[in-house]
Structure 1
Amino acid sequence: MYYGAREEIQSEMMSKNNLCAGLLTILGFCCALVASGQTFKPQQIAFFEKKIRPILATHCYECHSAKAKKLEGGLRLDHREGFIKGGVSGKPVALPGAKLAQTRLFQVVRLRQIEKDRIHPPLAKLLTSLEIRSLGAWVQIKLPFPKAAGPAVVANPVKPASDWKKKFDWEKARSFWAFKKPEAQVAPNPKQTNWAVSNIDRFILAKLEAAEMRPVADATKGTLLRRLYFDLIGLPPSPAQIDRFLNDDSPKALEKVVDELLASPQFGERWGRHWMDVARYAESTGMERNFTYPHAWRYRDYVIKSFNEDKPYDQFIKEQVAGDLMAHKNTQQKEEFIVATGFLAMGPKSLNQRDKRIFTMDIVDEQIDVATRATLGLSVSCARCHDHKFDPIPIEDYYALAGIFRSTNTLYGTPKVNGNRQAGSLIPMGENAQNKKAELDKYKRDVAALGKQLKKAQNQLTALKRKKNAKAMEAKMEECEEQVRSTNARIKKLRKNAPPAPAYAMGVQDGGEPFNVRVHLRGDVDTLGDTVPRGYLSALPIKQAPRPKMEQSGRLQLAEWLTHEDNPLAARVMVNRLWHHLFGQGIVRTVDDFGSTGEAPSHPALLDHLAIRFMENGWSVKKAIREIVLSHVYHLASNENPENFTKDPENKLLWRANSRRLEAEALRDAILAASGKLDLEPAERSVVAKAGNGNVERGLAVSKITMNATEHRSVYLPIVRNLLPEFLSAFDFAEPSMIVGQRQETTVPAQALFLLNSPFVIAQAEAMAKSLQKEENSDLETRVVQAYQRALSRPPTEEELARAMKFHQGVVAKKGEQATTKALAHLCHALFATAEFRYLD
């Protein structure tokens, strides 16, 4: 669209008919240029480094980069502005947010003519459909590109592979704050001595006083209770729970509530879901052939159970990275550890990939990414094709880790049907699992063999019937018919006595003889460099951490290195995640990026204090959360203060509470809780497990894997890639193909319209009205008050009560007493649609 309109402007000097369109185009182009200075989220930069830079490096940089011997057409594609401004022709290659098919970039990747008198040099090789889709996604998300800054490098960065450890100025690299071990901090002594109730408060208040600011007043008891309930269990307090807390004036009243919530089984459902965002939990492969993962629910239940049991975080990570290699007490624990490794198996997979080597290295890349970004907050996978552009992570470090995961078998399932070129296996579990699997495999082979015999006999019979001299062939036909009948009978008998299948789980196991991997130059499986021994990141040397065992993959030692007390990142990253979910922003606001492109901590001393306390308390998530929510800073109101706002408009110093929108799951669960329909019992297995193996929308009907109407908590909804439940999609659910520590938060008209028109929301409003009518001895005013308490955790103001009563009475006056329930349902529906219902103060 942009390119075509600009051509018209230049060639026809803007006729009267196209003047308006031309001006709009130029305006859009100028906006795009202004937008080129915008900042991008870490996950968008990571997408560029993983998916886009390798394409550009392979096909474009030789002629269109600062390192090109001759810059063709004056066009540079090693920075974002080059795509927007173009080369000497002035024609943009791609504009932010455009559709790929309407860009010059698309014409190039499709090898089409872009100028009348010139054909663009052909690409090194045709791009795959996946690479073209990646380019399209990149253009649509406005061409995210990293800032032009890099890590500290010695004078001559071009070194042979054998000398790669001299690439970086390691002393300077390790001086970066995130690569230094947390140090015990002495809590400051702020001037205002009566405000702080813990060391957390002293660190916060000292920063505020240094900026000549004061915290706002505390939140009301009711507001604080609602905040606690949603933060800790993702549900609103009931009217009875509100009354009990408001009437409890004991000094330990708040502590009692906190301890009750931490002990609640709903705690694991709430905080387990936070971790599943990071673990990119999903129940299908996504991508071109979206096959289901019918056994993924086991990992979901494992995560929820782990948070409820307050499993030490370091143990939690070790189980997910190397549970199959850990010592176990009994069979039950062994199987729990196997299920934990589903963390490495449930990523998205391109089952359409023909080349097994590329498919395998894509899985390895995804495993490196999730293992390091989830625990360390570093984008290590950006070093797959080249040294990391911003952090001291050479390509050799990437392939040192790749050797560990390349020596691992990933068992994710998916049958070899419907065009699946990369079918996988699963891990059998339960009593006599291996024997059961062997019997089942034999049964399947026998059925398949008989099936072939049956088909052969049926084909012979059909051929005989077509022959003209059928009478002469009667004996042969009878023989074939008998063979068909007997084979059918044998198949029927086999199926009747089919052996029981074992339970299955997704996960990983050490596979065969472990080996080291050669560097893949530019990430290409066909262009190999030197072999790199299996190992860890050179920027984080931990002398006490064990080295990978040569007879194993090295995952167990990697897990111990990741969570070692001398690792400067593991504890910091996790306490920062906890802080983010409790305050709406992390101490490091880029929660998934602790590297040089991420933000520095707003309170570095506090972050170190929390990290050390976390480890000293046995890596207990519950103890860390308890300490934070009992601090004074957590109890602040979200009130405005113009003077503070002028000094700190983003509230980095936490002079007030951040007003936060509820996540999709909490919002949906709150509606169910208010209506009285919420089923707090954990859902058994998953809808996807019941639907079984299949290619979504290509053999497996969508209706079989949708569950929008369930009354269980939203954490049990099916998470099928590219087919999320409608409610979750409407309210910024985490993209299940990506590592998401911080969800997007949009406010768009479609969300308000969804709450007004969704059959689910309307049904819950009606259910809430009927539930209120069943309350004993309740008049209309009492019902209205109860509706407000259920929905907003507070009674209505006098004005709100008067308006609600007037509305209700007006409806009844017009339509009669039979409209009482309908009027009450409209009120409940209106409460669900309010901003106060959606937001947490």
Structure 2
Amino acid sequence: MNSHLFIPGAAVFLCSALGATAAETAFFESKIRPVLVKHCYECHSAESGKAKGGLLVDTKQGLLSGGDTGPAIVPGEPGKSLLLKAMRHEDPDLAMPPKGPALAKAVAADFETWIREGAADPRISSAPVAERPPVDVESGRKFWSYQKPQTPQSPEVKNQDWPRRELDRHILAKLEKEGLSPSPDATPAVLLRRLHLDLTGLPPTPGETNAFVKAWAQEEGREALLATTVDGLLKSPRFAERWARHWLDVARFAESNGRESNLVFPHAWRYRDYVVDAIQADKPYDRFITEQIAGDLLPAKDDAERAQLLIATGFLAMGAKGLNEMSKAQFATDLADEQLDTVARAVTASSVACARCHDHKSEPFSMEDYYALAGIFQSTRTHYGTWIDSENNNGSSLIRLPDLPGQLIPNKSVTAARVAQLKADRAKLDAEEKAQNDYMAKARLEGKDISSEGFELLRNVIRILWSRGGIDGQLMTVDEDGSALPLCMGVEEAAKIRDAQLLNRGEIGQPVKAVKRGFPAVFEVPQAAPGSGRSGRLELAQWLTNPAHPLTSRVIANRVWRHLFGVGLVRTADNFGYSGERPSHPELLDALAQQMMQQGWSLKAMVREIALSRSYRQSSDFREDCFEKDPDNRLLWRAHKRRLDAEVIRDSMLAVSGELDLSRRPGSLVTEFAGQSVSLIGFNQALPADLDGSVRRSIYLPVVRDHLPDVLELFDFAEPTLVTGHRDVTNVPMQALYLMNGPWVQQRAAALARRVMQEKPTLEEQQRRAFVLCYNRPPDPQEKKLTERFFQTVRGSIEGRPEVDAPTLLALYCQSLLAGAEFRYVD
């Protein structure tokens, strides 16, 4: 069967070779893994850099080995499996998730079934080599990733005709050393499709493909043609939208809080647009990082730049928060921890946050290192814009932006009378609160017993608190006249700058000593320590972007490589530490890191360098001799076949159907919600069934934590609570069902059918046109026969059904093309 006419779903059953049957693998992928990712990975995974209680749940071995309290699961014995007890909250000391109710009974029942039947788990961990972890500073400085990148010599190669860029010499040298050779170049049509999908997230048009193939025939002009093509794609706004999404994965961008209090962030879209604009302008990466960590502390030439710098700091405000936490001190500590962990993971692929409760078990980070950084974020005030209510004990204001001509302000304006009424209502609540406080104070002085009134008094306190929170939430979005204000999420310096207290076992009630704000000792990077009157965020940004820093340039170079080749030179893109994988080509990684800095930290220059290489343009054809020596293709003897990201699948469907709206969505659907609770919004408002009611690019879809649009959820969108530099790729039955039965997919197929009927007069021409639009190539003779058979078979099965007319039949054919594997994969 031809791959592009094959609707997926059965591929999951191929995992039986890993020790699990087809049914067991399907059950794990549909019932078990999603729950672990959603509820457990944040605190117990290598991806998050956290292993609370010593437990990791992102590998089979992690669950079997367990943590400090023993194995998390015992296959065949649910009663002895601590994971099951934890999710049922049977033991308060093990309850998971720790804040909030136990998981649904149906979820626990699935886990019980899974464990009883042997806990089949097809996941394979990539265990690091068995070496002693560099847990002290001196040995840590000898580890590869904590040493400054070196400028390697150009490798000697035998085949001098093959390399086109310096990086090609590194790839070829390793291949030749192992007795391997690179694959032939991909065909021009395949190469162009790869370039378009990688750089812009959209397929080329048939006209672009024909022109490129024709020009490629002139061998002497190929390099110039390729350079012109790549440069054009880099200049396109479509490149900025595609590559902005990569950073938003890392920045854990979302438009709601998630967790137990899933409240919306209606102003998060400004940060999204900031990232798109920064990528389009090719803002130097060191400046890009500095603005997001300390934009509020940088000088600005005018109000427009000041607004952008403030919006950039939304990076630190975007994370999920324990909004129902009762302790203000605990909330502040947890918030700083989340920000510290995000910066460390996003910029340096380091798990410093694991040293919160004890010295890091496998990296050269001490508790002093952690709290030196924590003081920087504890001296920072975060604005995220949720107000006090029944789900939120920790309200926050927003940052007021400068007024600018033509500025988009999607907040709702109200009348001046409404503002006056809200203020009057708040004053009335203040008076009620004062009267009650005075009454209780007087009762205490007089020794009066008011215990019988306790419940009523407490209920009144809560009523006043929640009512005032709702009023404050409305008032902070408008001025005195009721006009909507330009606002954003972000950070600024705290009113009180202070060093963090080192906490015994990370417990807020067990301070040991103050730790001066600074940076981890393992890094030999010259940088002034934060001053007494500053948080230290600007110094932190300068330290991270110092050319002497061993990780920052390496990490971003590896992220770019990963997005173009499908796999990073370091496969654990968010973990460059001891527990991560070693680079396949360490000298090449250093060369790219050095080149990144030498070219002014230009992201586009790095993408261009790789896209023009001979290594990038290799075909993906299988070669048995190379496979036997390098089955994982770590030496890059061919291109990796890759499943497209969820957004690219969706955007490509819109592109080929002719419906894609390339305009930027003003604001976000989230700004139009009434109220702030996602659960109440979904209950009270008529929303698109899967939050996908538009035909704009996927980057403008709402990213509501725990409530993503179907196509993003099903095709492995990045978990928006975690720093995600590498998305998992699954192949599960629900994806096939969505492609076969999803109304959104059916609508795109109908639109594609209408398009080809308008463009071509005969059915045969319409079939060919649809095929070329979807796959950037004409069908071969066998595929033509399959198409004819499809129409004959379907016509026969619907004979006598007048509702199935010619356009409907053509739409079914178009849907089979959109559901085909070739449409979802880049070759």
Q: TM-score range by the shorter chain?
A: 0.7 to 0.9
Change (3 A) 1:454 1:534: closer
SS in structure 1 of the partner of residue 616 of structure 2: helix
SS in structure 2 of the partner of residue 634 of structure 1: coil
Change (3 A) 1:131 1:508: farther
Q: Which residue in the other structure is 2:821 paired with?
A: 835
Q: Which residue in the other structure is 1:410 paired with?
A: 382
In the TM superposition, residue 511 of structure 1 has moved relative to its aligned partner by 1.2
Q: Which residue in the other structure is 1:761 paired with?
A: 745
TM-score (norm 1): 0.79
Q: Which residue in the other structure is 2:352 paired with?
A: 380
In the TM superposition, residue 784 of structure 1 has moved relative to its aligned partner by 1.4
CA distance in 2, matches of 1:145, 1:203: 24
Q: Could you give the per-residue CA deviations for residues 746-805 of structure 1, whole angstroms, max 9, x where no partner exists?
A: 0111111110100011011011111111115x3222211111111111111122123324
CA distance in 2, matches of 1:196, 1:531: 55
Aligned counterpart in structure 2 of residue 822 of structure 1, from 791, 808, 812? 808
CA distance in 1, matches of 2:583, 2:192: 29
CA distance in 2, matches of 1:331, 1:692: 30
Q: Which residue in the other structure is 2:140 paired with?
A: 173
Q: Which residue in the other structure is 1:625 paired with?
A: 607
TM-score (norm 2): 0.80
Q: Which residue in the other structure is 1:274 paired with?
A: 246
1:94 aligns with 2:94: no
Indicate if the aligned counterparts of 1:390 and 1:597 stay in contact, CA closer than 8 A: yes
1:92-491 to structure 2, matched below 5 A, reads 93-94=80-81, 100-101=86-87, 106-109=89-92, 128-130=98-100, 169-248=136-215, 249=218, 250-251=221-222, 252-431=224-403, 446-448=420-422, 450-451=424-425
CA distance in 2, matches of 1:598, 1:355: 35
1:648-687 to structure 2, matched below 5 A, reads 648-687=630-669
1:508 aligns with 2:482: no
Change (3 A) 1:44 1:632: farther
1:46-65 to structure 2, matched below 5 A, reads 46=46, 50=50, 52-53=52-53
Q: How much identity, in percent, do the aligned residues show?
A: 40
CA distance in 2, matches of 1:529, 1:356: 19
Q: Could you give the per-residue CA deviations for residues 477-503 of structure 1, whole angstroms, max 9, x where no partner exists?
A: xxxxxxxxxxxxxxxxxx999431321
In the TM superposition, residue 827 of structure 1 has moved relative to its aligned partner by 1.1
In the TM superposition, residue 51 of structure 1 has moved relative to its aligned partner by 6.4
Change (3 A) 1:598 1:267: same
Aligned counterpart in structure 1 of residue 560 of structure 2, from 578, 584, 588? 578
SS in structure 1 of the partner of residue 779 of structure 2: coil
CA distance in 2, matches of 1:538, 1:566: 14
CA distance in 2, matches of 1:93, 1:570: 44
Indicate if the aligned counterparts of 1:238 and 1:793 stay in contact, CA closer than 8 A: yes
1:710 aligns with 2:694: yes
1:551 aligns with 2:518: no
Change (3 A) 1:407 1:255: same
In the TM superposition, residue 589 of structure 1 has moved relative to its aligned partner by 0.4
CA distance in 2, matches of 1:408, 1:455: 30
Tell me the amino acid that sits aligned with residue 780 of structure 2: T
Gapped regions of structure 2 (runs ≥ 5): 1-20, 34-39, 57-63, 432-477
Indicate if the aligned counterparts of 2:49 and 2:351 stay in contact, CA closer than 8 A: no
Tell me the amino acid that sits aligned with residue 81 of structure 2: A
CA distance in 2, matches of 1:497, 1:171: 59
SS in structure 1 of the partner of residue 772 of structure 2: helix
CA distance in 2, matches of 1:342, 1:441: 29
When the two structures are aligned, how many residues end up with a matched partner?
Answer: 715
Change (3 A) 1:520 1:668: same
In the TM superposition, residue 596 of structure 1 has moved relative to its aligned partner by 0.1
Indicate if the aligned counterparts of 2:418 and 2:482 stay in contact, CA closer than 8 A: no
In the TM superposition, residue 522 of structure 1 has moved relative to its aligned partner by 1.1
SS in structure 2 of the partner of residue 823 of structure 1: helix
Indicate if the aligned counterparts of 2:349 and 2:574 stay in contact, CA closer than 8 A: yes
Q: Which residue in the other structure is 1:11 paired with?
A: none
Change (3 A) 1:610 1:77: closer
Change (3 A) 1:197 1:100: same
Tell me the amino acid that sits aligned with residue 547 of structure 2: E
CA distance in 2, matches of 1:442, 1:365: 41
SS in structure 2 of the partner of residue 418 of structure 1: coil
Q: Which residue in the other structure is 2:61 paired with?
A: none
CA distance in 1, matches of 2:419, 2:753: 58
Indicate if the aligned counterparts of 1:150 and 1:389 stay in contact, CA closer than 8 A: no
Tell me the amino acid that sits aligned with residue 179 of structure 1: Y
Indicate if the aligned counterparts of 2:303 and 2:404 stay in contact, CA closer than 8 A: no
Change (3 A) 1:152 1:663: closer
Greater mean alpha carbon deviation, residues 282-291 or residues 683-692:
683-692
Tell me the amino acid that sits aligned with residue 716 of structure 1: Y
SS in structure 2 of the partner of residue 293 of structure 1: coil
Indicate if the aligned counterparts of 2:47 and 2:723 stay in contact, CA closer than 8 A: no
Indicate if the aligned counterparts of 1:691 and 1:704 stay in contact, CA closer than 8 A: no
Q: Which residue in the other structure is 2:444 paired with?
A: none
CA distance in 1, matches of 2:734, 2:489: 37
Change (3 A) 1:721 1:186: same
Higher relative contact order (CA 8 A, sep 6+): 2
1:534 aligns with 2:498: no
Indicate if the aligned counterparts of 1:45 and 1:146 stay in contact, CA closer than 8 A: no
Greater mean alpha carbon deviation, residues 789-798 or residues 291-300:
789-798
In the TM superposition, residue 547 of structure 1 has moved relative to its aligned partner by 1.8
Greater mean alpha carbon deviation, residues 784-793 or residues 561-570:
784-793
Indicate if the aligned counterparts of 1:151 and 1:392 stay in contact, CA closer than 8 A: no
Tell me the amino acid that sits aligned with residue 822 of structure 1: T
Q: Could you give the per-residue CA deviations for residues 711-767 of structure 1, whole angstroms, max 9, x where no partner exists?
A: 000110000001000111110111101111110100111111110100011011011
In the TM superposition, residue 703 of structure 1 has moved relative to its aligned partner by 3.7
CA distance in 2, matches of 1:128, 1:243: 58
Change (3 A) 1:651 1:802: same
* Bigger-Rg structure (1/2): 1
Change (3 A) 1:350 1:702: farther
Q: CA RMSD in A?
A: 3.8
Tell me the amino acid that sits aligned with residue 263 of structure 1: K
Q: Could you give the per-residue CA deviations for residues 70-113 of structure 1, whole angstroms, max 9, x where no partner exists?
A: xxxxx997468644469xxx9964267x57456xxx43337xxx
Indicate if the aligned counterparts of 2:86 and 2:96 stay in contact, CA closer than 8 A: no
CA distance in 2, matches of 1:650, 1:684: 44
Q: Which residue in the other structure is 2:549 paired with?
A: 567
Indicate if the aligned counterparts of 2:71 and 2:81 stay in contact, CA closer than 8 A: no
SS in structure 1 of the partner of residue 239 of structure 2: helix
SS in structure 2 of the partner of residue 774 of structure 1: helix
In the TM superposition, residue 284 of structure 1 has moved relative to its aligned partner by 0.4
Q: Could you give the per-residue CA deviations for residues 547-599 of structure 1, whole angstroms, max 9, x where no partner exists?
A: 21221101000000011100010000001000001011000000000000000
In the TM superposition, residue 825 of structure 1 has moved relative to its aligned partner by 0.9
In the TM superposition, residue 651 of structure 1 has moved relative to its aligned partner by 0.4
Indicate if the aligned counterparts of 2:54 and 2:68 stay in contact, CA closer than 8 A: no
Tell me the amino acid that sits aligned with residue 235 of structure 2: A
Greater mean alpha carbon deviation, residues 40-49 or residues 568-577:
40-49
CA distance in 1, matches of 2:131, 2:184: 44
Q: Could you give the per-residue CA deviations for residues 689-729 of structure 1, whole angstroms, max 9, x where no partner exists?
A: 12154111135646447531210001100000010001111
SS in structure 1 of the partner of residue 491 of structure 2: strand
Tell me the amino acid that sits aligned with residue 554 of structure 1: G
In the TM superposition, residue 819 of structure 1 has moved relative to its aligned partner by 2.3
CA distance in 2, matches of 1:634, 1:306: 26
